[in-house]
Amino acid sequence: MKLNFKKLILSALPVIGLAAVTSCQTAGQNESTTNNDGAETITILQTADIHGQLMPHQEMFVENGEFVFKERGGVANIQTLFKQVKSENPEGTVIVDGGDLIQGSAVAALSEGDAIAPVIKAMEYDFLIPGNWEVIFGSQKMRSVLASYGKPVVCANIYDEATSTMLYPPYIIKEMKGVKLGFISYNDPEVPVRQNPVFSKGLVFKGLEDNMQPLIKELKEEKGVDILFLVTHLGISKQIYLADQPENEGVDFILGNDTHERIRKPLKRKYAQVVEPGGFGSFVGRLDLEVKDGKVVDQRYELIDVDPKVYPADPVVQKIVDEQMAPYKEQISRVLGYTTTPLYRYLVVENALDNMITDAVRWKTGADIAISNGFRFGTPIVPDESGKAPITYSDVWNMLPVNENVKTGKATGQQIKNWMEQELHNVFAEKPLERFGGWVVRFSGMELTFKANAPKGERVQSITVGGKPLDLKKEYTMAACRRTGEPDHVLCRMPNAKDPKVLDYTVHDVIEEYLKTNGTVSPKIEGRAKALDLESPVLSQLPNVDYTFR
C-alpha cells in the first residue's frame, strides 16, 4: 500500500491520536494453562531497547497511511502488565529484557545508569542481557549497574580483557511445568566500533561463531533442553540471517533486539522464528507456547501496546521511579525552546530532528557540512493543540545520548564520496553481516541522492555541497561530534580528515544556544537525502520480508 505521507512531510503537522483501547485480555488470558490434551502453556514476555525511558511518552504509529502519536510506555505501567500476565500463568511465565536499558534519557545519563537499577530490581524480570549501549559509562560502570539489578545477566560473548574470562554466564535454563527452556544470549560483537571505543575498554567482544554451536549442542544434548531460545542484541537483519543458517539448527526462537522493529507476527525462517518488540518500553512482546511431550504443538504471539489507560502504573515501581527521578527533575525540565513541528526519528533516510541538530552545528561552526550519526532512538516531541511543544533539557539527552565536544576537520570531495559509499553500505548492504550501526548518517549543507540496492561502491548518484556539485579535488570543512577514543584524524567514522580540531563546546551547548537564539523552530524533511529506488519514507531495513513497520 502506498503511504500518504506527502502532506505530513511538507507541513509536518501532527496527527494526535486518541489512545487506542487495547483489550486487557491478551493472548491466552482466562484459558487453562494446562489444556485438555495435556499440553502445558509457557509464556515468554520480552521488552527491549527501553533506553532509559522510565515514564510514559509520545510514540509514533502508522495508521491509514498517516503518522499518529499516542502516549505509551512507562516502566511502572510495564510492571502492571507483567503482573497481570504472570497471574494468568504464574508457574509458566518467563520475563526477559534484551538490553539498552541504561542509556538514552537524561536521568540515565546524569546518574550514569544508577537511577535505572533500583527500578529494574523491583520489576518481574527473570533475566536480562546487555545491549550495545550498556558500555556507555565505561566497562566498570556497566558491571556495577548490571550487578545491582539483583537479577541474572546472561551473555555468551563478552570477556574480561585482563583475565580472558567470560563476564556473564552464557545461558540460563528455566524448568517449569515439566518443560525445560534454554536461553543463550549474545551482544553485538561490533560494540567497540559502533560506540566510542573508550566506552568498552577492558572488554573483548567475540563473534557468535566462537561458541554458538557448542552451546546449542550442550543445551540440547547434555542439558536436555526442550525449547531453545537465542536472545540476541544484533539487529533484525543479522537475526534473520542467523535464523536461516544450519549452524542455528536446534534453536526454536530468536528473541531479537537492537533495531526497535515492531514484529507483530513471528518471522518464520528456515531454522528458527524471529521476533523483536519495538523500543522505549512502548511495547511488550508476548509469546504463548503450547508444549506437549517437550514439543511445541501450538503458539500465539502478540505485540502488546503499553497503554497507560489500560495498564495503570504499578504504585510500588512508580514510587521508586519518582524517587530516582527527583534529584534531576528541575534540571531536566528546563525549557530551551519550542517546535511547531513534530520531532521524531524512525525514518531511515532523513528526519526533521536530525536536520535541526546538524543545522545547529553548522550554524555554530560555520563549516561547509555538519554531520551526525544515524541514531535510531529518541521519543517524539509532539506539538499540542496550541501548535507548539517545548524542547527541554531532557529532550536533548533523548536526541544525543553522548554530550561530546564538537570536532572539525577538512576532507576532499573524494574522501566525502568514499565515506558516504561506506556509510550507505553499512545501512543497505545486501549481505546482512555487512550491515552495521544505525541508519543513514545525517547532514546539513549537503544533499545526496543514492540507490540503496546498487552494488557496494556504486550507490551514490549525486552529492551537492552548498547547492553546487561535489568537487572531488576540493577541500571542504566539516563538523561533527568527537568520539572519545577514536584516532584524531577520524571524523564521524570518516578517516584521514585534515587539521582536526576539538572545540571547547559540546554538541549539547550548541543545541541550547541554537534554541535560545531562535526561540521557536520548525524543522522539516527537505530531501537532503533521497533513495531513488525506495518508496519514501523508509521505515525499515527489511527488504524481501513479510513485515511492515506500524
Instruction: Report, in angstroms and rounded to the nearest whole number, the Rg of the chain calculated over CA atoms.
Output: 23
- Residue 322, all three cell numbers: 519518582
Confidence of residue 33 (pLDDT cuts 50, 70, 90): low
pLDDT (0 to 100) of residue 30? 40
pLDDT (0 to 100) of residue 510? 98
Q: For the residues 68-74, what does the mean pLDDT come to? A: 97
Task: Decide the pairing of beta strands 93-97 and 369-372.
Answer: unpaired
Q: For the residues 57-61, what does the mean pLDDT come to? A: 97
- Residue 495, all three cell numbers: 578517516
pLDDT (0 to 100) of residue 25? 35
For residue 255, report the phi and psi dihedrals to the nearest 5 degrees: -85, 95
Tell me how far apart the 2 most distant CA atoms of the chain are, in Å: 75
Q: Which helix (H) or strand (E) element contains residue 7? A: helix 6-11
What digits encode the pLDDT tens for the residues 337-385?
999 999 999 999 999 999 999 999 999 999 999 999 888 889 999 999 9
Q: For the residues 253-262, what does the mean pLDDT come to? A: 96
227 pLDDT above the threshold of 80? yes
Q: For the residues 139-153, what does the mean pLDDT come to? A: 97
36 pLDDT above the threshold of 70? no
Q: For the residues 320-327, what does the mean pLDDT come to? A: 98
387 pLDDT above the threshold of 50? yes
Distances (CA, A) of 436 to 123, 141, 237, 351, 424: 32, 25, 10, 19, 10
pLDDT (0 to 100) of residue 16? 33
pLDDT (0 to 100) of residue 34? 64
Task: Decide the pairing of beta strands 520-521 and 335-339.
Answer: parallel
65 pLDDT above the threshold of 90? no
What digits encode the pLDDT tens for the residues 512-524?
999 999 999 999 9
Cα 140 to its chain centre, rounded Å, is: 23
pLDDT (0 to 100) of residue 35? 64
Q: Is 462 left (phi over 0), alpha (psi -120 to 50) or beta?
A: beta
Residue partners of 421: CB distance under 8 A and separation at least 6: 456, 457, 458, 459, 460
**Residue (of 379, 383, 371) closest to 483 by Cα position:** 371
What digits encode the pLDDT tens for the residues 390-449?
999 999 999 998 899 999 999 999 999 999 999 999 999 998 889 887 899 999 999 999
Q: For the residues 245-266, what does the mean pLDDT come to? A: 96
Q: For the residues 236-251, what does the mean pLDDT come to? A: 95
259 pLDDT above the threshold of 60? yes
How much is the mean pLDDT over the chain? Answer: 92
Share of the chain above pLDDT 70, in %: 93
What digits encode the pLDDT tens for the residues 448-466?
999 999 999 999 999 999 9
pLDDT (0 to 100) of residue 27? 40
pTM of the model: 0.91
- Residue 21, all three cell numbers: 483501547
Share of the chain above pLDDT 90, in %: 84
